[in-house]
Amino acid sequence: MAAVRGTWWMRWVSLYLPLGAIVILTLFPFYYMAVTAVRPDREMYIPWNRPNFAPFWTLRPTLEHFALLFRETLFARWLVNTLFIALMSTGISLFCGLLAAYALARLRFPLGGALGTGIFVTYLVPQTLLFLPLGEVIRSFRLGDTPWALILTYPTFLIPFCTWLMMGYFRTIPRELEECAQIDGATRLQAMVRIVFPVATPGILSAGIFAFTLSWNEFIYALVFLSSATQKTIPVGVVSELVRGDTFFWGPLMAGALLGSVPVAFIYSFFVEQYVSAMTGAVKG
Amino acid sequence: MPAPTNPATSTALSAPALPRVRVGVLGRLRRATPTERREWLLAFILLCPALFMLGLFVAYPFVRGIWLSLLDSVVGREGNFVGVQNYVKLWHDSIFQRTAANTFVYTAVATILKLSLGMAVALMLNNLLGFKRILRASMLLPWIVPTVLSTLAWKWMFDPTFSIVNWILYHLGFIRIRVDWLGGPVAAMLSVILVNAWRGMPFFAITLLAGLQTISPDVHEAAAIDGANAWQRFWRVTWPLLMPVTMVVVLFSVIQTFADFQLVYILTGGGPANSTHLFATYAYQLGVATALLGEGAAASLAMFPVLFLVVLFQLWYIRRGQDGEGAS
């Protein structure tokens, strides 16, 4: 390793202190979100330049904001909606992506390369480019304001990603493995399902976790395609129901933000390695 | 770097490079053996679900979006064909001009910030001996958590009256009077860029770190023996070797940043006085909030030329790298 050599204080100045500062900056908003979520209202709205303002902690933590969230908003409903939509769209995308990736990485057929490029290009299309006409399409299929509006449109950015990632995995699996199975009398399809897919399981897991968090976090489609409060996902529900005009209910807002973040952060903490490999794999192919 | 290849090379992806006479798709169809035909049929069937979804929800909306941008549609009423009138109107719209300028500034400044910070963090993490995994994991948090929700926390931190950011800066002695972070056009733009950098930096850091870890320490040792200092080693050794990864990360990020919506929507809503709109937020304001569908579609399609150029450049760059690898 070309590590920083030299005295201990040089390592501190060039490494530990800046890294420490960056980690604090990175994590502080989450800490503040959590503190605000349990801070009683009478403590919350004290101007910043008052001498007795103790912003970093509270001595009287309260769960009132969480209670309000579940009592007076449909937060529990939004949680279920978000979960259902994320699971369904991830499932659809994995299915489509897996099959497409196998074809593109393993089979030789005319126009294969052109199709691969096409799928890569759709991977780069941002959601904000097409949200208005896509909304029209959704309305004309009479899917507006239903979970299916999102379940069917999230795959537009998840399939290209899954395909891309799985192609990389399939390429690392030696062809001989399949050929052996075929010599033993398995058909190409059987070789694919019984031999290649199981070997590619880590890749499928990575792609699935990444796709799940992407659909959990999606915002603009959910904002535009859903209108009734019962149908909303967490990000949209929290923003639209806890902000009334210019009034922000900061306690419940932060409680909702915290609860909406915890599930993805929790899943992520178990699968950091898969997540990182999906993220870097998505870039490197 | 495996990447989409052109039809002529992809068929020979891992096959020995036989001299191949180029025949058209039709010619190959005619000459195919039954085994080949079965393989093509399987490929076609396997690709069907993905192509169906992408055709229906990407290609079709794209065509429909172009059509929509040529109509004077309002939500709930069929539009009439008005040609490029929506685009002409946007061209002369001072808010749209401001929006276009904002988007370029936002993308440029945020990308430079993310790249330099991300590179610094990646280099530091690469030099770190312990704690690497836990630091990497915690640093990615802004990237995992729903952007809207973390941006809400920032909005609360920037609150004009109760701002914790002001509290910290005041007590550290940096400010005497309050800063209204989202109140003025320049301050609001700066705040939005900072939050974007906060959210996007981990992606740069972690991906660049993955790239750094593939560079052999021997190269650095050799350069060090030749008398290169750390600064020279970075610019002469690390930077060129890391270029392919950097390039792809930057291009990805440029597309995402250019088309950003959530940050601005939550933090400023495009305000104060429409001074921080990006293409996407302005398109939303036109197409959804004011129900001018045609104009909104035109405003979001205005992103297309730039995105198209970036994608073209990316495809060209990836393919170029691949040809280089193939030659070695």
Model confidence at A268, pLDDT cuts 50, 70, 90, reads: confident
Q: Which domains does chain B have, with CATH numbers?
A: 99-327 (1.10.3720.10)
Query: Nearest CB to A137: which of B60, B201, B311?
Result: B60
Q: Kindly report the nearest CA distance between residue B108 and chain A, in angstroms.
A: 18
> Is there a contact between A159 and B7 if contact means CB atoms under 8 Å apart?
no
Residue B168 has a pLDDT of 87
> Is there a contact between A112 and B25 if contact means CB atoms under 8 Å apart?
no
A66-284 has which fold?
A: MetI-like fold (1.10.3720)
> Is there a contact between B11 and A109 if contact means CB atoms under 8 Å apart?
yes
Q: Kindly report the nearest CA distance between residue A205 and chain B, in angstroms.
A: 16
Q: Write the secondary structure of B137-190 as one string of H (helix), E (strand) and C (coil).
A: HHHCHHHHCCHHHHHHHHHHHCCCCCCHHHHHHHHCCCCCCCCCCCCCHHHHHH
Evaluate if residue A6 carries a pLDDT over 90.
Answer: no
> Which range is most confident: A169-183, A219-233, B117-131, B216-230?
A219-233
pLDDT more than 90, % of chain A: 49
The residue extents of the domains of chain A are 8-62, 66-284
Model confidence at B2, pLDDT cuts 50, 70, 90, reads: very low
Find the helix or strand (DSSP H, E) in which A45 lies.
none
pLDDT per residue as tens digits for the range B187-208: 999 999 999 999 999 999 999 9
Model confidence at A116, pLDDT cuts 50, 70, 90, reads: confident
Give the amino acid at A190: Q
| Chain A neighbors of B8, CB-CB under 8 A | 113
Among A88, A95, A109, pick the best mutation site for testing chain B contact (most B Cβ within 10 A).
A109
Model confidence at A284, pLDDT cuts 50, 70, 90, reads: low
Tell me which of A37-51, A70-84, B59-73, B141-155 is least confident.
A37-51
Model confidence at B12, pLDDT cuts 50, 70, 90, reads: very low
pLDDT per residue as tens digits for the range A231-258: 999 999 999 888 887 788 899 999 999 9
Among B22, B149, B242, pick the best mutation site for testing chain A contact (most A Cβ within 10 A).
B149
Query: Nearest CB to A261: which of B15, B29, B145?
Result: B145
> Is there a contact between A128 and B259 if contact means CB atoms under 8 Å apart?
yes
> Is there a contact between A285 and B1 if contact means CB atoms under 8 Å apart?
yes
Give the amino acid at A276: V
Among A130, A141, A215, pick the best mutation site for testing chain B contact (most B Cβ within 10 A).
A130
Query: Nearest CB to B157: which of A4, A32, A268?
Result: A32
Average pLDDT of the residues of chain A:
87
The alpha carbons of chain B give a radius of gyration, in whole angstroms, of 25
Q: What is the dihedral of CA B306, B310, B316, B320, to 10 degrees?
A: 150
CA B304 to chain CA centroid, Å, is: 13
| Chain B neighbors of A283, CB-CB under 8 A | 207, 245, 248-249, 252
Q: Write the secondary structure of chain B as one string of H (helix), E (strand) and C (coil).
A: CCCCCCHHHHCCCCCCCCCCCCCCHHHHHHHCCHHHHHHHHHHHHHHHHHHHHHHHHHHHHHHHHHHHCCECCECCECCCECCCHHHHHHHCCHHHHHHHHHHHHHHHHHHHHHHHHHHHHHHHHHHCCCCHHHHHHHHCHHHHCCHHHHHHHHHHHCCCCCCHHHHHHHHCCCCCCCCCCCCCHHHHHHHHHHHHHHHHHHHHHHHHHHHHCCCCHHHHHHHHHCCCCHHHHHHHHHHHHHHHHHHHHHHHHHHHHHCCCHHHHHHCCCCCCCCCCCHHHHHHHHHHHCCCHHHHHHHHHCCHHHHHHHHHHHHHHHHHHHHHHHHC
> Is there a contact between A133 and B297 if contact means CB atoms under 8 Å apart?
yes
> Is there a contact between A124 and B280 if contact means CB atoms under 8 Å apart?
no
Give the amino acid at A215: S
> Is there a contact between B207 and A238 if contact means CB atoms under 8 Å apart?
no
What's the pTM value of the predicted model, to 2 decimals?
Answer: 0.88
Model confidence at A130, pLDDT cuts 50, 70, 90, reads: very high
> Is there a contact between A129 and B303 if contact means CB atoms under 8 Å apart?
yes
DSSP structural state of residue A110: T
| Chain B neighbors of A182, CB-CB under 8 A | none
pLDDT per residue as tens digits for the range A143-186: 989 999 999 999 999 999 999 889 888 888 888 888 888 888 88
DSSP structural state of residue A271: S
| Chain A neighbors of B44, CB-CB under 8 A | 103, 109
Tell me which of A53-57, A213-217, B217-221 is least confident.
A53-57
> Is there a contact between B178 and A49 if contact means CB atoms under 8 Å apart?
yes
| Chain A neighbors of B254, CB-CB under 8 A | none
Residue B9 has a pLDDT of 37
Among B39, B46, B171, pick the best mutation site for testing chain A contact (most A Cβ within 10 A).
B46
Query: Nearest CB to B156: which of A116, A117, A254?
Result: A254
Average pLDDT of the residues of chain B:
86
Q: CA B25 to CA B22: how far, in whole Å? A: 9
* CB-defined contacts A:B, below 8 A: 340
Q: Kindly report the nearest CA distance between residue A4 and chain B, in angstroms.
A: 7
Residue B271 has a pLDDT of 81
Among A129, A217, A242, A273, pick the best mutation site for testing chain B contact (most B Cβ within 10 A).
A129
Residue B322 has a pLDDT of 66
